Structure 1
Amino acid sequence: MTLTDAEKVLALSLWEKIAPKAETLGAEAMDSLTTSSKEAAKYFEKFDISKNSPDMLAHGGKIMNAIGDAIKNYDKLKESMATLTDLHVNTIHVTRDLYELMCQCIVAVMSKHFPEEFDDTMAALRKPFLDEVCRVLAGSGEK
């Protein structure tokens, strides 16, 4: 997928609304992920995965900020996410299925908190964009 200039502007404008709430929104997505998947919870055995714990807020913020960086650096996505890709592929061994589930959790949280922004135009953009981010993080991105 390649975003048009107009889609990049749209994604950036939504990110500006998300950024101040990155930790809490990310923690909410993490909570959804870890409560819906025992496999996901295993990746976070050393974390306090209780709702809104400092670990969930910190890691949720990292996830959301990585998505923000992906939006800002879309034209060089693979290069900008190389360190995260290496960590997740070679050290943590995160599965593609887990990325897909996390993306679903993120979309659900964003849709809940930003219902007006998640109109048909954004719907057509968000899934392919997040799928592309997941491909890159899984080590199979084309960008």
Structure 2
Amino acid sequence: MNLINTILGFRNFCKVDEIKRFIHISISLDKSEDLVFSGHILLFKTSRQQTWIIISNIRLICVLDDISKDNFEIRWDLDKHLVLFESKVILEITVEPHYSRRSGIINFGEYHKNWLYTKKLFPHPKDLKQKLLETIITEMG
């Protein structure tokens, strides 16, 4: 945590394992759904916010961690039948790199649009999309 955040009273970012444990407790998970070993991708990172995509064998979950708030929040989740069919990703994922110098936009289907991603983490839009597709197929397939 940097000094300015400490002075302002902000908390540290949650670790991905903490996020997964919280999701496991807060969402009614199927007994076969195990988030401990699920895939995860950090999409967006600034000094005050992080956006994670957590991918289990049953669902895709978007988590926003804003250190100015008490805790992170689950922004949305999608069941497997909306994401994958017969080992093929059916969720339309589009990546638009022209948002700003540091950020691009990623869309997850019709209802989860305009999520930011950090270009420093994913300098090439096709690499972000490929990472998502591969992780979805690995975790859900």
TM-score with structure 2 setting the length: 0.29
Which structure is larger by alpha-carbon Rg, 1 or 2? 2
Query: Larger RCO: Structure 1 or Structure 2 (Cα < 8 Å, ≥ 6 residues apart)?
Result: 1
Specify which structure has the higher proportion of helix: 1
